[in-house]
């Protein structure tokens, strides 16, 4: 995600999705077995970015666990992400934010792990409660180029099939790694974006608009055609059935079979920026908020990691030009950007005997 405080400040849609996870986190924290005396209760937050959207979920878990596990029992929270993630911003937030779950929370310790979640991140059997939100639709890598678009869900034929196959394989790998890391009886709560049977995921409008803005830059000679052809967002949304098929004894592959589905729920989220726009009819403010939201999660994949926080003040980059163009297009056609995001909430458990 774009570094510094940028993603934290421009991820209200993702924040909205984490709120939907809170009841499942509360139930997971109420159900999981507690560690033996003296052992820390370990919470893993997979794909934390710069942490703002993890504060409330972790606070929710802590509230329930602390009731069950009184002081001075220690609780450890490990935020994981890719090595290039801005963990400095995360620890600054944890240390300084009034919203930090570390406030007035004795014997709670925060750590970070910089490693892909498509590998085992923790020693076997260490994690009591895992959580991940807005992450598992990010692929380990794009399986190949995507011609004429940046959004894999717009691909067709064999190109689409290659992205779908990578998503299926990555999800199985993710579950297999978590099934080894969870303690027997440990639970994992997952929030993932969904594709419907027609292939739509609710972000299609804004992605088409962004793609058109890039094609305009190519036509204007601002972006080379070759650079545009290399651009792809390594994201693929599976259907609810596809996510669930990888779990339990009937799983097509054995990878996630050890984990049991405890509960699942599909939720349609309203677009927080559109709600504000409907209240104010301020198209410029809506477009600015939307372009910043899009930038916060797409910039590193499209333009590399030298985002606004990394550049000299006043320097204008190709990314600045692009997101400004996106903003102008959204201001001109506000309804095209509105998202109809559907998410899947999953609570899964490693059986006590496994």
Q: Where in 190-249 is the site for ligand SAM (CB under 6 A)?
A: none
DSSP letter (8 states) at residue 50: T
Backbone angles phi, psi at 234, to 5 degrees: -80, 65
| Near ligand SAM by CB under 6 A: residue from 2, 10, 47, 142 | 47
Beta bridge partners, 333, equal none
* Window 287-306: contact mask with ligand SAM (x via CB under 6 A): ----------x---------
Binder among 126, 133, 244, 245 for ligand SAM (CB under 6 A): 133
Residue 41 interacts with ligand SAM (CB under 6 A): yes or no: no
Q: Is 13 in the site for ligand SAM (CB under 6 A)?
A: no
| Candidate segments 11-19, 181-189, 196-204, 284-292, binder of ligand SAM by CB under 6 A | 11-19
Q: Whole-number minimum distance, CB 237 to ligand SAM, in Å?
A: 13
Q: Which stretch binds ligand SAM (CB under 6 A): 43-51, 144-152, 254-262, 271-279?
A: 43-51
120 binds ligand SAM (CB under 6 A): no
Q: Which of 3, 48, 61, 294 binds ligand SAM (CB under 6 A)?
A: 48
Say if CB 324 and CB 248 are below 8 A apart.
no
Q: How many CA atoms lie within 13 A of 277 on its CB side?
A: 21
**Cβ-proximal residue to ligand SAM, closest one:** 47
The answer to whether 206 and 334 have CB atoms below 8 angstroms apart is no
Residue 28: enclosing H or E segment and its boundaries?
helix 12-31
Work out whether 173 is an interface residue with ligand SAM (CB under 6 A): no
Burial (0-12, 13-18, 19+ Cβ within 10 Å), 120: middle
Any idea of the CA torsion for 91, 30, 70, 101, to the nearest 10 degrees? 20
Cis peptide before 311 (omega within 30 of 0): no
What does the block give as tokens for 113? 């792990």
- Per CB under 6 A, the list member of 138, 290, 293, 323 interacting with ligand SAM is 138
Say whether residue 85 binds ligand SAM (CB under 6 A): yes
Contact between 349 and 209 under an 8 Å Cβ cutoff? The reply is no
Residues lying near ligand SAM in the complex (CB under 6 A) are found at 1, 11, 14, 18, 47-49, 53, 80-82, 85, 116-118, 133-135, 138, 140, 297
């Amino acid at each position: 995600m774009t570094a510094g405080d940028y993603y934290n400040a421009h991820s209200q849609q993702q924040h909205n999705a984490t709120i939907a996870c809170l009841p499942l986190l509360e139930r997971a924290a109420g159900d999981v077995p507690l560690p033996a005396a003296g052992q820390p209760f370990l919470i893993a937050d997979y794909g934390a970015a710069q942490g703002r959207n993890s504060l409330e979920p972790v606070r929710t878990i802590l509230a329930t666990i602390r009731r069950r596990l009184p002081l001075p029992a220690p609780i450890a929270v490990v935020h994981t992400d890719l090595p290039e993630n801005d963990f400095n911003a995360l620890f600054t937030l944890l240390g300084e934010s009034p919203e930090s779950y570390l406030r007035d929370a004795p014997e709670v310790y925060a750590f970070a792990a910089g490693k892909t979640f498509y590998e085992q991140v923790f020693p076997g059997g260490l994690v009591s409660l895992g959580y991940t939100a807005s992450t598992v639709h990010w692929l380990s890598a794009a399986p190949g180029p995507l011609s004429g678009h940046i959004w894999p869900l717009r691909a067709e034929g064999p190109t689409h099939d290659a992205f779908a196959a990578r998503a299926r394989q990555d999800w199985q790998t993710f579950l297999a790694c978590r099934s080894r890391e969870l303690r027997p009886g440990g639970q994992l709560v997952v929030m993932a974006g969904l594709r419907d049977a027609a292939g739509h995921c609710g972000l299609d409008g804004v992605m088409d608009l962004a793609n058109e803005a890039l094609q305009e830059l190519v036509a204007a000679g601002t972006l080379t055609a070759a650079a545009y052809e290399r651009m792809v967002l390594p994201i693929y949304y599976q259907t609810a059935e596809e996510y669930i098929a990888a779990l339990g004894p009937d799983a097509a592959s054995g990878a996630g079979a050890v984990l049991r589905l405890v509960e699942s729920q599909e939720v349609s989220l309203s677009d927080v920026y559109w709600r504000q726009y409907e209240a104010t009819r301020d198209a410029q403010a809506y477009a600015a908020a939307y372009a910043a939201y899009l930038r916060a999660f797409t910039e590193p994949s499209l333009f590399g990691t030298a985002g606004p926080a990394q550049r000299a003040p006043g320097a204008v980059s190709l990314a600045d030009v692009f997101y400004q163009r996106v903003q102008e297009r959204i201001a001109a056609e506000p309804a095209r950007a509105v998202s109809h995001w559907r998410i899947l909430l999953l609570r899964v458990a490693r059986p006590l005997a496994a």
